[in-house]
Amino acid sequence: MRQGPLTGLKIVEFAGIGPGPFCGMLLSDLGADVVRIDRKGQGRGAPSDVTSRGRRSVALDLKRPEAVEACLKLMDAADGIIEGFRPGVMERLGLGPDVALKRNPRLVFGRMTGWGQTGPYAQAAGHDMNYIAITGALHAIGTDEKPVPPLNLVGDFGGGALYLAFGLLAGIIQARETGRGQVVDCAMSDGAASLMAMFYGMKGAGIWKEQRRSNLLDGGAHFYDTYQCKGGGWISIGSIEPQFYALLLEKTGINDPEFQRQHDRAAWPSLRAKLADVIATKTREEWTEIMGATDVCFAPILDLDEAPRHPHNVARETFVDVAGVIQPAPAPRFSATPGAIQGPPPAIGAHDEAALTDWGFSAADIGALRGAGALA
């Protein structure tokens, strides 16, 4: 029995990598019935395939017309779909929005790509780092010497999956009001650019410099940076507001008058070096005891082994153990209709009969697909 605020929502997901599966996970965690169309023979289903959790898998051979028709029948019953192929692939398969929306006018057709459906780069291969490179985001993140990819958080997941989930749900709300579905062209490059809105505003106001580590929020300011402690651990300090900065000086025992020049950019390099020397006198654990859970705006920097054991994460059950794999719990949280991990990552074709039956296929329909070699 599924649970969450999206219970009753029906989504068809065409199997892919990166942001598509993550979007499917988000929707499933909140209760949507997500049926993933897999290719026959692909290996999936390991407990560590976290972003595949909570789906049902139907394995189809899309080279066969019977399988294409089965996909269209699933899309007839769906509220939305997720696909992450290069532009034109779904059309060549006979599964494009021109066909799907004619059959199901209320369908919201979610298209996840790096560069978008149009533009000079639309048909080019790429990865997260490339998509955020043209938005200004990658240039702004890193050390003095070079830009540094921020994992896949800005392109694939922040600029991609989250915007696709947002776009799908917005489209479904409108479709339920008007009876009209539409295509959601979700490009990671567009999403990453959108995430940069505040920084473009700061640039427009003349308070953002292009040089990395020279700004308020990129590690340029001594009061918004990371510091290494005695013994090698690291901490984060974000004491921007004057009252928080004053508490930082109090907790670190700093009474050097130069630290009164908090917002003097010329003083930042010297103040960072001085603060680094102070932080290096104590271990991460000692600083956590002194500044943790205070208004300094402080947190220890934890690795992936340590994070699930942090008292705050433990208290909120931020991480869960599923089949021996530690992974994030569903987010965000709902007071009346909480989400849940709806099941483990599915093996390829694990739900061929059950999912198709639930979505309106008869036993004869399923038998015909098997007989044609279209279904695993």
What's the pLDDT score for residue 226?
A: 98
Domain count, the chain: 2
Encode burial over 13-41: b for 16+ CB neighbours within 10 A, e otherwise: bbbbebbbbbbbbbbbbbbbbbbbbbbbe
- For residue 268, being part of any structural domain is answered with yes
Judgement on whether residues 20 and 106 belong to the same structural domain of the protein: yes
Judgement on whether residues 302 and 348 belong to the same structural domain of the protein: no
Q: How many CB atoms lie within 10 A of CB 297?
A: 18
Alpha-carbon distance 10 to 107, whole Å? 10
- For residue 110, being part of any structural domain is answered with yes
Task: Write out the two tokens for 62.
Answer: 């899309």
DSSP state of 79: S
Judgement on whether residues 118 and 68 belong to the same structural domain of the protein: yes
Alpha helices of 6-56 — where are they, by DSSP H? 19-29
What's the pLDDT score for residue 44?
A: 75
Give the pairing of strands 234-238 and 224-228: antiparallel
Whichever domain contains 295, its CATH number is 3.30.1540.10
Judgement on whether residues 123 and 166 belong to the same structural domain of the protein: yes
Task: Write out the two tokens for 110.
Answer: 């979610």
What's the pLDDT score for residue 45?
A: 82
Judgement on whether residues 246 and 191 belong to the same structural domain of the protein: no
What's the pLDDT score for residue 40?
A: 77
Judgement on whether residues 346 and 229 belong to the same structural domain of the protein: no
What's the pLDDT score for residue 42?
A: 61
What's the pLDDT score for residue 43?
A: 66
- For the residues of 230-284, what is the DSSP string, one character each? BTS-EEEEE--SHHHHHHHHHHHT---GGGG-TT-GGGHHHHHHHHHHHHTTSBH
Q: What stretches in the chain show pLDDT beneath 70? A: 41-43
Judgement on whether residues 251 and 138 belong to the same structural domain of the protein: no
What's the pLDDT score for residue 108?
A: 98
Find where tokens 């991990």 sit.
Answer: 341
Judgement on whether residues 59 and 146 belong to the same structural domain of the protein: yes
- For residue 265, being part of any structural domain is answered with yes
Alpha-carbon distance 134 to 120, whole Å? 13
Judgement on whether residues 144 and 181 belong to the same structural domain of the protein: yes
Indicate the residue among 288, 314, 340 that finishes a domain. 314
Alpha-carbon distance 40 to 301, whole Å? 42
- For residue 232, being part of any structural domain is answered with yes
Cα→Cα distances 328→29, 239, 324, Å: 11, 28, 13
Cis peptide before 149 (omega within 30 of 0): no
What's the pLDDT score for residue 307?
A: 98
Alpha-carbon distance 82 to 13, whole Å? 5
Whichever domain contains 63, its CATH number is 3.40.50.10540
Structural domain including 285 reads 224-314
Judgement on whether residues 41 and 183 belong to the same structural domain of the protein: yes
Which active-site residues does the annotation give?
127, 156
- For residue 321, being part of any structural domain is answered with no
Judgement on whether residues 47 and 123 belong to the same structural domain of the protein: yes
Task: Write out the two tokens for 113.
Answer: 């790509």
* 55: nearest Cα among 89, 88, 77, 82: 82
Judgement on whether residues 45 and 158 belong to the same structural domain of the protein: yes
Alpha-carbon distance 192 to 116, whole Å? 12
